[in-house]
Amino acid sequence: MGHILMVRNMVAVAAISLFSIGLSGCDYWPPALQTQIEQIRAELQNATVEKTQLQNQLASMTKVRDDLQTQVDDLSRQNRDKSSMISGLQNSLAAAQERLAKSSKSAAPKAAAAKTSSKVAAKAPAKKKPSAKATH
């Protein structure tokens, strides 16, 4: 940036010098001044080329930034979608676990009742069998 400011200052000095020489009507340009003007023109061309390159780089970087921002937006949207899906699955899992707990609680008393009735039924025939053997 300092290089560009120096070039601008030199161009301004050269322009003022040319303007003042033009007003005085002098058509003679000393060789040192001509050399200085050529140097300034060369620097101006270099500065113009550098400016164009920097503008191209800026445009390229802006495009890359926009592409990356688009990717970030897409990934953020996907993240929100996945988070809501995970939340829904967690809720479904909790509900299923609750139903399983309720069904196992209600199945446990039924199983206990079935076991006691089967024990009673098993004891009753056992008593009958020995008495049947004794009568024979």
Dist. CA 86–CA 80, nearest whole Å: 10
User: Who contacts 29 (Cβ-Cβ below 8 Å, separation ≥6)?
Assistant: 21, 37
Dist. CA 118–CA 110, nearest whole Å: 12
Give me the amino acid identity at 39: Q
Give me the amino acid identity at 70: T
Mean pLDDT score across all residues of the chain: 81
The alpha carbon dihedral of 11, 16, 22, 27 has a sign of negative
> What's the pLDDT tens digit per position in 54-89?
999 999 999 999 999 999 999 999 999 999 999 999
What residue has token string 């003679």? 28
**Which pLDDT does position 107 carry in this prediction?**
73
Dist. CA 11–CA 35, nearest whole Å: 14
Dist. CA 48–CA 7, nearest whole Å: 11
Q: Does pTM top 0.85 for this prediction?
A: no
Dist. CA 77–CA 97, nearest whole Å: 30
What residue has token string 């008393």? 109
Q: Who has greater pLDDT, 2 or 23?
A: 2
**Which pLDDT does position 105 carry in this prediction?**
85
